[in-house]
Amino acid sequence: MRNSDRNTRPGRHAAPSSDRPTRKGAQQAPDPYVEYGYDEAGGQYAEPVYDEAPRRRTAPARNEAPRQPVRRKRKKKKKLNTTALLLVLVVLFGVIFGYSAYRLYSIMSEYSESRERYNSVADSAMSTVAPVSAVPTTAPFAVNPGEEITASPVTEKSPIDVNFTTLLEQSPDIIGWIYCADTVINYPMVRGNDNDYYLHRFIDGSYNGGGTLFMDCKCSRDFSSANSIVYGHNMNDGSMFASLKKYRNDPEYYSKHPTFYINTPTQNYRVDVFAGFVCDADSDTYTISFASDTGFESWLSRMVAQSDFKTEVSVGAGDHIITLSTCSYEWYDARYVVLGKLVPIG
């Protein structure tokens, strides 16, 4: 092949033209990117078909940035992900709601069961009676002219009567019964070997969410300690010792409930309330015995000074005190206590 022919030879993809030489005897292949026709003189001509022919891929110009592929949004997959997330959230909320409802039902059932059990004990072992107040009769009175007779004082009686034989058959830890008129406080009291056993147990030792009112295990069972401490839960349904907080929240509560009554197998008491306040669980309020009368009187003065209410009750070194304690929530490990003087009655 001549050099002139080599230089003018069409490229691989160039469309054949009638003015370009071809090999002898070879037929010119039609180009799919052109349309052939004949003019009036019978000569063949070619016209490119731009609308119908597919575009060829050409390399970008030297200074032209390469084309970026167009990313189509995956709408369907995103929709599926959103639906799955919503389904997971619905299931999660359903589980949380179901568990919360179950816990609420369990708690309410425990409250109801506890009330029924204590009501049953009260019906079988305790009854209220007409209270008899002490009548001061120190002045003599005349029966016949010239004769004087000194009347004997009437001994105050407890407004409740408790069958301790029945109670002690259910638990040997029974030490007494506490009662406050027109309140829910109407319960047996126990003393165990520690201060944990009766936190969530009934008087017979079986499980009870509200527990039992129990005396500090370091106190004397017969309330002969200088300060006898009795613990009880602050229940959300108002049972056990929850009503003690009313001495703090209601200014009129003390005037309506100035006294409690405690019956024991050997002695009954009237409890004259003289102080109530919030304190720490490890404060000196929980002191049981004192080295001297002076120390005891100093302790009593501090208790009175902290009280949320004022009373006319006088307390001194010769008195025996009872402290009723329940949980409070003003700060961590807070307690609300109500202190009273034990006055022996019939």
Q: Domain boundaries in the chain?
A: 173-345
* Mean pLDDT over the full length of the chain: 81
**Tens digit of each residue's pLDDT (9 = 90 or more) over 292-311:** 999 999 999 999 999 999 99
Place of tokens 């506890």: 114
**Tens digit of each residue's pLDDT (9 = 90 or more) over 122-174:** 999 999 887 656 544 343 433 444 544 444 456 899 999 999 999 999 999 99
Residue 180 pLDDT exceeds 50: yes
Could you tell me the pLDDT band of residue 60, with boundaries at 50, 70 and 90?
low
pLDDT at position 345, please? Answer: 96
Q: Are strands 334-345 and 259-263 parallel, antiparallel or unpaired?
A: unpaired
* CA-closest candidate to residue 325, choices 203, 221, 199, 224: 199
* CA-closest candidate to residue 190, choices 239, 233, 230: 230
Determine the Cα–Cα distance for residues 307 and 302; give it in Å rounded to an integer: 9
pLDDT at position 135, please? Answer: 44
Q: Which residues pair with 187 in a beta bridge?
A: 178
Determine the Cα–Cα distance for residues 203 and 234; give it in Å rounded to an integer: 18
**pTM for the model:** 0.68
Determine the Cα–Cα distance for residues 110 and 214; give it in Å rounded to an integer: 19
99 or 254: which carries more pLDDT confidence? 254
Class of domain 173-345: mainly beta
178 or 150: which carries more pLDDT confidence? 178
Vertex 237 angle, CA 195 and 202, to 5°: 35
pLDDT at position 149, please? Answer: 41
